[in-house]
Amino acid sequence: MTEDHEPAGGRGVPGRAPGVSEVTAFVAEICLLAALAVGGSGLGRQTAIHVALAVALPVAVSVLWGLLLAPRSAQRLGQRPRLVVKLALTVLAAVLLAATHSVPWGVALAVLAIPVFTVGELRERTAGP
C-alpha cells in the first residue's frame, strides 16, 4: 500500500479499520435505502410504477449521498447541513415506509437511524476532519 492510498472505511484515516460507529452508520444507511425501496414499491397503482419507484428512490438517494454526504466526497456539505439532509432523508424514508407498508418498521427506522446519524456527525465534529 502506498502512502497516498486510503483504505476503504476508516473515514479517510490511513491504516485505520472502520470502528463500531462507522459500521453502525453504514448499516443505518443500508436500512435507509431498503426502506426507500420498500416504500417506493408501495406507491402508484401499476406494477411498472411500483418497480420504477422501488429502484429509482434508492438510486437517487445513493447518488445524492455519494455527491454530498460521503466522507470522501469532493463537494461534501458542512457538518450541520449534512446532518439536516441525513435526518430529512431518514424521516422521509420512515414516513414513506409507514404510509405504504408498515408503521412499526417506519418508526423503528426513525428511532434507530436518527440517533446513529446524529452521534456519527457529532463524533466526526469532535474528531476533526
pLDDT per residue of the chain (129 residues) written in tens, 0 to 9: 334 434 444 455 556 677 888 899 999 999 999 999 999 999 988 999 999 999 999 999 999 999 999 988 999 999 999 999 999 999 999 999 999 999 999 999 999 999 999 998 888 777 655
Identify which of 112, 126, 111 has the alpha carbon closest to the alpha carbon of residue 28. Answer: 112
Distance CA 1, CA 13 (A): 13
Residue 13 within a domain = no
Residue 8 within a domain = no
Distance CA 95, CA 25 (A): 20
- Determine the structural domain holding residue 51 and report its residue range: 21-127
Residue 65 within a domain = yes
Residue 70 within a domain = yes
| pTM for the predicted model, two decimal places | 0.81
Q: Residue 82: which residues within 8 A CB-CB, separation 6 or more?
A: 68, 69, 76, 121
Residue 5 within a domain = no
Q: Return the pLDDT at 18.
A: 74
Number of separate domains in the chain: 1
Residue 9 within a domain = no
Q: Return the pLDDT at 6.
A: 41
